[in-house]
């Protein structure tokens, strides 16, 4: 199937959907275009296991818990 044929079939199907479903398809298509930055596989990070002391981990945990479910309305 060519790009043109796919686009035509997609438009044909899209036109048959209700507006809200069309919006969902559009949002989904937009998410497919987002470039996801590449990360490191977990196995590459194993060398860091155990390198953070317990007090620092507790501090990080508290900061995460404190910051969760809060919004910054200044952005």
Concatenating the DSSP letter of every residue in 9-60 gives HHHHHHHTS-HHHHHHHHHHHHHHHSPPPP---HHHHGGGTT-S-HHHHHHH
Closest CA to 13 of 32, 26, 30: 26
Of 1-15, 44-58, 61-75, which range is least confident? 61-75
What length is written for the chain? 75
Domain ranges of the chain: 3-67
pLDDT band at 39 (very low <50, low <70, confident <90, very high): confident
Convert the pLDDT of each residue in 16-36 to its tens digit: 999 999 999 999 999 988 887
- Tell me the per-residue pLDDT of 41-62, one tens digit each, with 9 for 90 and over: 889 989 999 999 999 999 999 8
């Amino acid at each position: 199937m060519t790009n043109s044929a796919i686009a035509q079939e997609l438009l044909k199907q899209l036109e048959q959907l209700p507006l809200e479903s069309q919006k969902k398809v559009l949002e989904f298509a937009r998410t497919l275009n987002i470039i996801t930055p590449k990360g490191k596989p977990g196995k590459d990070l194993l060398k860091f296991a155990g390198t953070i002391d317990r007090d620092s981990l507790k501090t990080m945990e508290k900061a995460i818990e404190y910051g969760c479910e809060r919004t910054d309305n200044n952005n």
